[in-house]
Chain A
Amino acid sequence: MQKQAVVINSHDNVATVVDDFAAGTLINFFIGGSEQSVKLLQNIPLGHKFAICEIKPQEDILKYGECIGVSTTLIIAGQHVHVHNMESKRGRVNDNHS
């Protein structure tokens, strides 16, 4: 099966596409050794992320098995995940210890 996205850690809730893909495309990827597929609901450009499962508002976005930010709205599987619907927790200056 051809793979079009990479999921780095089995706890991740996003996958990163390796080419530009149009809405409606079925994207295949490995997750923890098994193969899964998700249909894209939006166009996703190369290097961008989409949700591989439902993500609730204020839920952690997980990539590399770690929190890379928090969702600002409900995101459903196949939707684009980026600066329009997630925000960083760590972008503030001098915020080293929390």
Chain B
Amino acid sequence: MEFLGYRRPDGKVGIRNHSLIIPTSVCSSTVAFNIAQQIPGTVALPNHHGCCQIGADYKQTLRTLINLGKNPNVAAILVVGLGCEGVPIHEVVTEIATTGKPVEVVVIQEAGGTLKATAEGVRKMAGLTRQVYNLQPEKVDIRELSLAIECGGSDFTSGLASNPAAGIAADLLEAAGGNVMLSETTEFIGAEHILARRAKSPEVAEKLFKIVHDCEERAKLSHFNLRDGQPTPGNIAGGISSIEEKSLGCIYKAGHALIQGILEYGEIPSTKGLYIMDTPGQDVESISGKLAGGATVVIFTTGRGTPTGSPIAPVIKITANKRTFKMMEDNMDIDASSIISGEETIEQVGQRIFDEIVKVANGRKPKAEILGHQEFGIYKIAPTF
């Protein structure tokens, strides 16, 4: 099976051809945004961080910014820095440039302030755009796809229908040799032992237990026990009887394949197959982390409906709640409620989802992409100082 993809100089394949502006800190984010306005179609990532960060939190933001530039959906990159921020501007440039993609840089303090930096940035972005706007996709094998799976605004239809169906689509891509990424560590709590059985090795299982344990410990620092009170009274009223049931409802959106490895937030997997990335359950930060991990397409199951998109990868919305599909038809792409009504099996809808992924890879735009939804946020694991 094949799709049309953009082969980048490093061999990775994207399904979009974005010109991207990455501000290295919040201080350069307005200039980055202004430059993007002058070259239609350019995407400027919002960045609320990049300075006064320490330790693992600093490393995480740095890794995420670099890896977003490396994402195969991105054709060319302009890095915009202030000059004195914590994130090392030129390291970001050099690392992204290892992909062989064209990269330029503007530093506000060196250019001489807003207007001069904006002019320099617009000139450089125009030059980059001229290099990449006409790149043509070529026929590539389906294994070149990197799929991120997310769930948000869940209700009883999520665990029952849309997530298992998403899992079928995940299994199809994994079996074909592609990458699949599951995240939202908070949601494994209660079923991590089941996930661990699918780990490729005892080391991977240990790492999985560790990220779940660390997640619970972080909550305890704020005097919050994530396991207590789960399932919630609302869940129980809705029919969820145990934390295992709740957690399994989330986990099976990534199918049944062997787990190749556990990724840090924003880390790129080294091989094909199913990976778990350590992210919070918060959808936007979760998706943003997986984009840094190289995800080129996102499927997002929802029960109550959410409009969330992403700046550099198309997000396909799936709901099995018929009422939600009708009410939020402007945002929902796939109606999986036929599983609930019995008109289709989970397997049939899973195949439909997989077929849609291929169509989107070939250029069809899901509703979030048409509407310009570009929600984005980098996960922070320590306070700013």
Q: Could you tell me the distance between the alpha carbons of A30 and B345 in the complex, rounded to whole angstroms?
A: 8
Residues of B within 8 A of A1 (CB): 342
A66 contacts B194, C-beta separation under 8 Å: yes
Most chain B CB within a 10 A radius of its CB, from A6, A33, A45, A48: A6
Known: A93-B225, A96-B193. A69 touches B242 (CB 8 A): yes
Q: What 1/0 mask marks residues of chain A from 2 to 25 whose CB sits below 8 Å from any chain B CB?
A: 111010100000001010000000
Contact of B242 among A18, A68, A93 (CB under 8 A): A68
A64 contacts B345, C-beta separation under 8 Å: no
B342 contacts A87, C-beta separation under 8 Å: no
B243 CB within 8 Å of chain A: yes
Residues of A within 8 A of B346 (CB): 6, 8
Most chain A CB within a 10 A radius of its CB, from B161, B227, B342: B342
Q: How many B residues have CB within 8 A of the partner chain?
A: 36
Contact of B227 among A83, A89, A91 (CB under 8 A): A91
B242 contacts A86, C-beta separation under 8 Å: yes
A28 CB within 8 Å of chain B: yes
Minimum CB–CB distance for B294 against chain A, Å: 28
Chain A residue with Cβ nearest B208: A96
Minimum CB–CB distance for A90 against chain B, Å: 5
Q: Could you tell me the distance between the alpha carbons of A4 and B156 in the complex, rounded to whole angstroms?
A: 14
Most chain B CB within a 10 A radius of its CB, from A8, A45, A93: A8
Contact of A46 among B156, B230, B342, B343 (CB under 8 A): B156
The segment from B48-56, B170-178, B209-217 found at the interface with A is B209-217
Residues of A within 8 A of B160 (CB): 6, 8, 16, 18, 47
Residues of B within 8 A of A48 (CB): 239
Q: What 1/0 mask marks residues of chain A from 74 to 98 whose CB sits below 8 Å from any chain B CB?
A: 0000000111001111111110111
B342 contacts A3, C-beta separation under 8 Å: yes
In order of increasing CB-CB distance, the 6 nearest A-B pairs are A3-B342, A47-B239, A47-B156, A88-B242, A48-B239, A68-B245
Subset of 7 A-B contacts with CB under 8 Å: A6-B160, A33-B345, A47-B240, A66-B191, A69-B244, A96-B212, A97-B193
Beyond known contacts A30-B345, A47-B239: 13 more, CB 8 A cutoff: A6-B339, A6-B340, A6-B346, A8-B252, A66-B194, A68-B241, A68-B245, A69-B241, A69-B244, A82-B236, A90-B244, A91-B227, A93-B216
